[in-house]
Amino acid sequence: MTRHIVAAVADFPPGTRRTVTINDRAVVVFNVDGAYYGLFDRCPHNGGSLAQGVLTGLLQASEPGAYSYTREGEIIRCPWHGWEFDIRTGQSFCRAVRAKARPFAVKVEPGSDIVEGPYKAETIEVRVEDSYVVIDA
C-alpha cells in the first residue's frame, strides 16, 4: 500500500475536515477531538459530496419530551438530499422515499429488534504517524 499524508496534526485542528484524492477517489477526513475518521466522498444514495455536507449530531429522547443532543460533530448530512451518515462507521438509517405518499402498517417493537439499514458510506482507515495524519491505500 502507498502511504498518503493528509496533513500535519498541528495543521488539522479538531472539528475540521480535509479532502484528499487517493487512487483517483476523493476521500474526506474528519478530526473529531483528535480522533481521525475517513469516508469516501460520495453519498451512496445519489453520489453527493459528503465533504460539502453539514456536520451535526443526533437528537435523542429517553422518553417523550426529554430530548438531548448527542454525538455533536459526528454525523455528516449529504448536501443534496439530507441523508445522514455516522462518520465513524459510515452507517445511515435513511431509506429511499417515493414521491407519492404511501400508507404503512405501524407497530411498536423493542429497540433491540431494529436492524441497521443497508446504506453505508465507505470508510477508510486514518492514523497519526510522526505528527502527520496519514492514510495507507
- Answer yes or no: is pLDDT of 99 > 50: no
- In angstroms, rounded to a whole number, what is the distance separating the alpha carbons of residues 95 and 83? 9
pLDDT by residue (tens digit) across 35-89? 888 888 988 888 899 999 999 998 888 888 899 999 999 999 999 988 888 888 8
What's the domain count of the chain? 1
pLDDT by residue (tens digit) across 18-41? 898 988 988 888 889 988 888 889
The range of the structural domain enclosing residue 13 comes to 3-96+103-136
Q: Report the predicted TM-score, pTM, of the whole model to 2 decimal places.
A: 0.69
Q: Identify the CATH number of the domain in which residue 57 sits.
A: 2.102.10.10
Burial (Cβ within 10 Å: 0-12, 13-18, ≥19) of residue 132: middle
Residues 6+ apart with CB under 8 A from 131: 8, 9, 10
Are 69 and 77 contacting, i.e. CB atoms less than 8 angstroms apart?
no
